[in-house]
């Protein structure tokens, strides 16, 4: 999916499960920037479900 702001960047949405004790950790690698982190309360069977929108600039 292309980002509407930067046509050269590729945008991906990744969802991962994260335990409560690890909330607040910063995840980034290889020139990637985390654009948005949000909790998904509708998922009840996991401790936390975090949706990461990753904007890849390279």
Per-domain residue ranges of the chain: 10-56
Residue 20 has pLDDT above 60, yes or no: yes
* Distance separating alpha carbons of residues 40 and 17, to the nearest angstrom: 10
37-58 pLDDT, tens digit each: 555 555 444 444 444 554 444 4
d(CA 44, CA 47) in angstroms, rounded, equals 7
- Tell me the pTM: 0.25
Q: How far apart are CA 14 and CA 53, in angstroms?
A: 6
- DSSP secondary structure letter of residue 54: E
């Amino acid at each position: 999916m292309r980002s509407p702001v930067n046509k050269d960047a590729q945008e991906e949405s990744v969802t991962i499960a994260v335990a409560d004790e690890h909330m607040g950790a910063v995840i980034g690698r290889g020139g990637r920037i985390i654009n948005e982190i949000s909790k998904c309360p509708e998922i009840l069977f996991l401790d936390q479900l975090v949706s990461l929108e990753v904007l890849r600039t390279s």
